[in-house]
């Protein structure tokens, strides 16, 4: 539980910074002042300036907010789809189970990068493409976990008794299945958010993700990397922010696993 609380505290601090930083920012993430390129912190830019004289304080807050929004939205979408299809496959069985399993295996064979690029062609903006691309791959994990765990529970006496008493599938899922599989799926959600954030930053780092001048952690690393000798503190900021975000989610997921095992 100590790691879980530590992870929650760290995540709350990061989210608070991402949401509240604009209240103390008078510059904005896009305003340039080339005379202040790579300048140290001052009263207007608390974390200093990047290579184009933009406030790192403002850009870092916007980048964290963008990554968190996409990651949480993609994970929530993937969880809703995966849990629903996993419950349906384990409940109905037969050709429905085989068809959904085949669909999951087919999608899993496609690289996540390819899914994001495909969505980028279909959807009008990069954030929507990341949301759809990550969710279209991430749902498989929730589908497999739900299908595997629900299958044994549906064959148990509790579900049989509830069915004989006339309770419907929704009641059975809420009262019998979810209390058992919920903790496992919440842990998977924490890992899912972490994987989504890492994917967004990695794609931005290889210049396949967000486009300039959008503030994004991976893109900020790429932009500041040539200036690491002149301003190492500037480059460290998106690196440390990404590391802290992933660490908080890993601690939360690990704490949930430990509490479930205990």
- CATH number of the domain within which 159 lies: 1.10.3720.10
Domain interval for residue 210: 2-20+49-261
Q: How confident is the model at residue 114 (pLDDT cuts 50, 70, 90)?
A: confident
User: What is the dihedral angle through the alpha carbons of 202, 208, 210, 213, rounded to the nearest 10 degrees?
Assistant: 110
Domain count, the chain: 1
Predicted pLDDT at 50: 92
In a domain, 225, yes or no: yes
In a domain, 36, yes or no: no
Q: Distance from CA of residue 78 to its chain's centroid?
A: 10
Predicted pLDDT at 27: 86
In a domain, 29, yes or no: no
In a domain, 40, yes or no: no
Structure confidence by residue, pLDDT tens digits, 42-53: 888 899 999 999
Predicted pLDDT at 127: 87
pLDDT: is 66 or 165 the higher one?
Answer: 66
In a domain, 39, yes or no: no
Structure confidence by residue, pLDDT tens digits, 187-207: 899 999 998 998 888 888 777
In a domain, 73, yes or no: yes
To 5 degrees, how large is the angle CA 127–CA 219–CA 129?
20
3-state secondary structure of 49: strand
Residue 152 in this model has a pLDDT that exceeds 90: no
In a domain, 90, yes or no: yes
In a domain, 31, yes or no: no
Share of the chain above pLDDT 70, in %: 97
Share of the chain above pLDDT 90, in %: 43
């Amino acid at each position: 539980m100590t790691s879980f609380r530590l992870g929650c505290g760290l995540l709350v601090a990061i989210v608070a910074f991402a949401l509240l930083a604009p209240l103390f920012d008078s510059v904005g993430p896009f305003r340039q002042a080339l005379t202040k390129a790579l300048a140290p912190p001052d009263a207007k830019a608390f974390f200093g300036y990047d290579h184009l004289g933009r406030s790192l304080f403002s850009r870092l807050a916007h980048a964290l907010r963008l990554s968190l929004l996409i990651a949480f939205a993609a994970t929530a979408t993937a969880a809703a789809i995966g849990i629903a299809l996993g419950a349906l496959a384990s409940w109905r069985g037969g050709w429905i189970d085989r068809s959904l399993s085949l669909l999951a295996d087919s999608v899993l064979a496609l690289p996540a990068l390819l899914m994001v690029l495909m969505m980028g062609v279909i959807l009008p903006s990069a954030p929507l493409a990341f949301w759809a691309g990550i969710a279209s791959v991430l749902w498989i994990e929730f589908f497999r976990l739900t299908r595997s765990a629900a299958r044994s529970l549906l064959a148990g006496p509790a579900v049989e008794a509830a069915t004989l008493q006339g309770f419907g599938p929704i009641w059975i899922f809420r009262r019998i299945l979810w209390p058992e599989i919920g903790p496992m799926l919440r842990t998977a959600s924490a890992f899912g958010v972490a994987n989504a954030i890492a994917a967004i930053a990695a794609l931005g780092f290889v210049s396949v993700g967000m486009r300039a001048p959008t503030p994004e952690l991976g893109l900020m690393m790429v932009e500041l990397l040539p200036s690491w000798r002149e301003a190492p503190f500037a480059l460290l900021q998106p690196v440390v922010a990404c590391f802290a975000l992933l660490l908080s989610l890993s601690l939360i997921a690990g704490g949930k696993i430990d509490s479930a095992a205990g």
